[in-house]
Amino acid sequence: MKFRDGMWMVAEGKRPEYAEEVYSIAEHPAGNSLSLLCPTKRILQRSDSLNLPTLTIDIRAPFDGVISVETTHWLGALNPGPHYDLYPAGKPEKCNPGISKTDTSTTLRSGSISATVKTGNHDFDIRFHATDGSKELTSLLNRSVGFAYSPAPSNQLVTGDMSKFQHYIFTQTTLSVGESVHGLGERFGAFNKVGQAVTLWNADGGTSSDQAYKNIPFWISSRGYGIFIDTPDKVELEVGSERCCRVQTSVEAQRLKWYIIYGPTPKEVLQKYSILTGKPGKVPSWSFGLWLSTSFTTNYDEKTVNSFLEGMKARDIPVEVFHFDCFWLRAFHWCDFVFDSEMFPDPKAQIARLKASGLVKKVCVWINPYLGQASPVFKFAASKGYLLKRKNGDIFQWDLWQTGMGIIDFTNPEACEWYVSCLEGLFDKGVDAIKTDFGERIPSIDVEWFDSSLDPRKMHNYYAFLYNKVVYEAIQDRFGENEAVLFARTATAGTQRFPLQWGGDCESTPEAMAESVRGGLSLGLGGFAFWSVDIGGFEGYPPPWIYKRWVAFGLLCSHSRLHGSNSFRVPWTVDDDDTSEQGCSKTLAKWTSLKARLMPYIFAQAQIAVEQGIPLSLRAMCLEFPEDPTSWFLDRQFMFGDSLLVAPIFEESGDVEFYLPKGRWTSFFTNKTRVGPGWFKEHHQFDTLPLYVRENTILVLGKWHEMRTVYDYAQGVEVCLYQTKPGAKTTVVDSEGEEVGVLEIGEEGHLIDQDFLTGAWHVTRNGRSTIKSKATEN
């Protein structure tokens, strides 16, 4: 939303008003907040205080390293919900607030961050900076805070009828020279958002548009701070795109609140952000294995499912989770939780046979929060008030996706209870995990929720939180707190608490694979630890080379799923069952096996990611190397945990160019080392890619023959030392995520504290064993 036409003119049909000075400051007695009265013109004489608007800016110190800023035009305006569920684990007690003054300024301190307000010469100048004076972060300067009408009113009298006007609040934080901005959800465009106009409004737009399934009102700056916009409402940002030197945030409302979070490192920013909106939930070790789907519109039954899994077993490709996509339900009946009796006459027995065969451990099914009117369940749900209504009392319906589709109203506690009972029916049949698809197409016009106090526009994005929360907690109640797994498509702030998320509908092209990488990187910077993608691409028929390159990328995401639209993703259907070493089947088998071997590292890193509120994979390079300016612009590679660098390949030829930050890096596949910083070019076949291990890493690998993801991560392992120095450490956890020991390099350069390792484990130096050999017991 632009309010100006260039620097000098107002945008057509808009009338912005700006806070022109800080007229007065009220201090809270506790010393933890300031309230600024800011008129929209400078007050040079007493009569200037009449017939003009003011803005109130409340600056507060909620906890150490964080300051909130709330701008309000009319204080009497209601502020209906929903509101984000902040501090889900409790508000931290640690805070060191205080107020200090000089002749020309007032400063509010909140631990490591401070806000200084100039108070002389009719200024409007608010600076956010490190309390110790080491760094200025950003600021609110002249004409940077205000409100706007659209259309422009002819005089103040006509605003007596606000139904004829839209009213916006906006702020413009300064962008420094060279500063970059990242995050704002799962965005598939350029990684650095400077120069972009971004609308935070959940939409089913695929991965090739500026729309996003997961809009997160949080962004992180290369200057060591982040900003969380505290509203699920539709937010529009001009990131250096209205004024090149500012980030403008606007919302159609009477108030706008955001938090500025000081790191100074980006990891610390995310850790503090997770205090506000919640840490990611833990996921079980089995979920890191390969998931295989039936695909979307394909025709399948029990015979089809068994043939897939038997084919995978015959090709040494273990499947941990089998996923039944949409057509486990009857056509026109989505989503009434009733299996298609013609294709699946006894689903409970079928699932039991599937698990008893040993072909798969867990089963997942697809659901969405909608209900087609063809199902008898529709009438039942409508009669009980479980579906969203129009203002006149009609059920809200449209023929979008499902004919006469209704929408489950999760603001109705009884609707939630009923929905959970439907999920329990699936669990009784043997279902272990749920793919929570959709949740983006939530209307905001002519609707009234069961909780009529809620703002329909705010509910559009917030619905994703309620929907996934209900399903996630139902799985927790059945299987245990750390055993719940979703495959969710839509999200908003806080939804990281209900893992995991996947990247939505992508095409089967190298460009779409690159879009997906950018989406995963951006979402990770919103505190989402776990993320996946449709391996091979969702739309279309991937050529074998795309499929194989995507397999390598997909098995190095935190979670890995084969899924398509109208074609299967089992490897032999992609390349006519090429049995060569570089065929689809052998390629998938190698990468699946590699992920299984990496599980001691992956699962230990997963616990750290949850605790710190940071992504496991895809982890943006800037999180690990914030002092390297190049790391803030790398959107074709990522870190998997803190020690593995991954550069997917987007060329059929196998040519790839990637960047290594400062230090010595060792190729996982060859043990050859490279020294960064610098750009490097390599050529790879389909069973390798640039996978580099950071120096001073102790990398614990499972046995050569490990194929599944759940095993004893301390037994028979290979402990690989990569240019380690005294003090280097790594934690080993069990398959439940509990710590079993810490490996450390002692002063003599040898491994100490290793008594907890069992079986025929061994140590390799300067890399790993690249030839299978019998391990020797220590």
What span, in angstroms and rounded, lies between the C-alpha atoms of 49 and 39?
8
Complete edge-to-edge strand list for the sheet that includes strand 126-130: 97-101, 105-110, 113-118, 126-130, 136-140
Average pLDDT, rounded, for the chain: 96
The third-level CATH classification (topology) of the domain covering 626-765 is Immunoglobulin-like (2.60.40)
Mean pLDDT of 555-574: 97
- Amino acid 776: pLDDT: 32
What is the token pair recorded at 316?
């040494």
Mean pLDDT of 316-325: 97
- Amino acid 753: pLDDT: 86
Q: Indicate whether 778 pLDDT > 50.
A: no
Q: Indicate whether 95 pLDDT > 90.
A: no
Mean pLDDT of 205-222: 97
Q: Indicate whether 775 pLDDT > 60.
A: no
Q: What is the pLDDT of residues 53-89, one digit of tens each?
A: 999 999 999 999 999 999 999 999 999 999 999 999 9
Angle at 617 between CA 260 and CA 64, to 5 degrees: 25
* Strand-strand pairing, 33-39 and 235-239: unpaired
Whether 262 contacts 224, CB under 8 Å: yes
Domain 1-75+94-157 class?
mainly beta
Task: Give the residue numbers marked as catalytic.
Answer: 437, 440, 505
DSSP state of 751: E
Cβ contacts of residue 244 below 8 Å, gap of 6+? Answer: 175
Domain boundaries, the chain: 1-75+94-157, 286-367+412-612, 626-765
Cβ count near 414 (within 10 Å): 12
Alpha carbon distances (Å) from 333 to 94, 342, 345: 52, 14, 17
Query: What percent of the chain clears pLDDT 90, i.e. is strictly above it?
Result: 97
Question: Of the candidates 502, 550, 512, which has an alpha carbon nearest to the alpha carbon of residue 209?
Answer: 512
* Strand-strand pairing, 751-752 and 235-239: unpaired
Q: Is 53 helix (H, G, I), strand (E, B) or coil?
A: coil
Complete edge-to-edge strand list for the sheet that includes strand 673-683: 638-640, 644-646, 691-694, 655-667, 673-683
Q: Indicate whether 668 pLDDT > 70.
A: yes
What span, in angstroms and rounded, lies between the C-alpha atoms of 734 and 737?
5
Q: With bands split at pLDDT 50, 70 and 90, how would you rate the model's confidence at 94?
A: confident
DSSP state of 571: G
- Amino acid 773: pLDDT: 38
Mean pLDDT of 223-234: 98
What span, in angstroms and rounded, lies between the C-alpha atoms of 316 and 607?
29
Q: What is the pLDDT of residues 368-406, one digit of tens each?
A: 999 999 999 999 999 999 999 999 999 999 999 999 999
Residue with tokens 């200037």: 48
- Amino acid 334: pLDDT: 96
Longest Cα–Cα distance in the chain: 91
DSSP H or E segment with residue 413 = helix 413-428
- Amino acid 505: pLDDT: 96
Query: What percent of the chain clears pLDDT 70, i.e. is strictly above it?
Result: 99
What span, in angstroms and rounded, lies between the C-alpha atoms of 543 and 574?
7
Mean pLDDT of 424-448: 98
Three-class HEC string of 516-551: HHHHHHHHHCCCCCEEECEECCCECCCCHHHHHHHH
- Amino acid 770: pLDDT: 85
- Amino acid 774: pLDDT: 36
Angle at 537 between CA 533 and CA 541, to 5 degrees: 160
Q: Indicate whether 139 pLDDT > 50.
A: yes
Q: What is the pLDDT of residues 641-659, one digit of tens each?
A: 999 999 999 999 999 999 9
- Amino acid 772: pLDDT: 56
Whether 303 contacts 573, CB under 8 Å: no
Q: Indicate whether 728 pLDDT > 90.
A: yes
What span, in angstroms and rounded, lies between the C-alpha atoms of 450 and 410?
8
Mean pLDDT of 557-578: 96
Cα dihedral sign for 334, 338, 342, 344?
positive
CA neighbours closer than 13 Å in the CB half-sphere of residue 456: 16
Q: Indicate whether 444 pLDDT > 90.
A: yes
Chain center to CA of 286: 21
Q: What is the pLDDT of residues 501-550, one digit of tens each?
A: 999 999 999 999 999 999 999 999 999 999 999 999 999 999 999 999 99
1-75+94-157 and 626-765 in the same fold = yes
* Strand-strand pairing, 501-502 and 531-532: parallel
Three-class HEC string of 425-483: HHHHCCCCEEEECCCCCCCCCCCECCCCCCCHHHHHHHHHHHHHHHHHHHHHHHHCCCC
Q: Indicate whether 326 pLDDT > 50.
A: yes
Burial of 595: CB neighbours in 10 Å, binned 0-12, 13-18, 19+: buried
The third-level CATH classification (topology) of the domain covering 286-367+412-612 is TIM Barrel (3.20.20)
